[in-house]
Structure 1
Amino acid sequence: MPAILGTFKVVNVSSGGVVHIGDVGVIAPKAASKTYAGSGSFNTGDFPATYNVVSSTNTNDQDINDENMAGL
């Protein structure tokens, strides 16, 4: 069912984001990313306590493709 829109402003569309106006059957944004983090990097809570004397993050990736995505 069509909608009647007034003026609108798009401030930011992130990578993999979708701005759609009108009728649609399927919206499927595609994005992939890889994050490397060392010991204690993604701690959450009020009082996190980590004790890392020696820490290293292995970023050596042997495979060529991690997540194959196809589409427009």
Structure 2
Amino acid sequence: MPAVVGAVKVITISSSSIFNIGDVYAMSPYATAKTFAGGGSFNTGDGIRINLNQSKSNVYDRDKFDQIVTGM
């Protein structure tokens, strides 16, 4: 069903977002990211105590690509 759209002001659009005015069947934004974090990095809560002594995060990635996103 067609719609009447008034004034539109776009300030910013990020790299994995979609901006559409009008009829659309399906939209599917995508983004890829690789996160490296040491032990205990994503803990949340009150009064957490973590003792890791000499913890290390190995960030070396031999194959460079984990999952290739295609179809753009």
> How many aligned residue pairs are there?
72
Aligned CA distance change for structure 1 residues 50 and 9 (closer, same or farther; 3 Å) = farther
TM-score when normalising by structure 1 = 0.80
- Which residue of structure 2 aligns with residue 12 of structure 1? 12
* Deviation for aligned residue 1:56: 0.7
Structure 1 unpaired stretches of 5+? none
Q: 2:48: which partner in 1? A: 48
Q: Residue by residue, what CA displacement relative to the aligned partner does 1:7-31 show, whole Å, maximum 9, x if unpaired?
A: 2222332221111111111212122
Q: Unpaired segments of 5 or more residues in structure 2?
A: none
Give the residue type in structure 2 aligned to 1:5. Answer: V
1:35 equivalent in structure 2: 35
TM-score (norm 2): 0.80
List per-residue Cα deviations over 1:28-51 (Å, max 9, x = no partner).
212211010011111112333221
Matches of 1:7 and 1:46, distance apart in 2: 47
Identity of aligned residues (%): 43
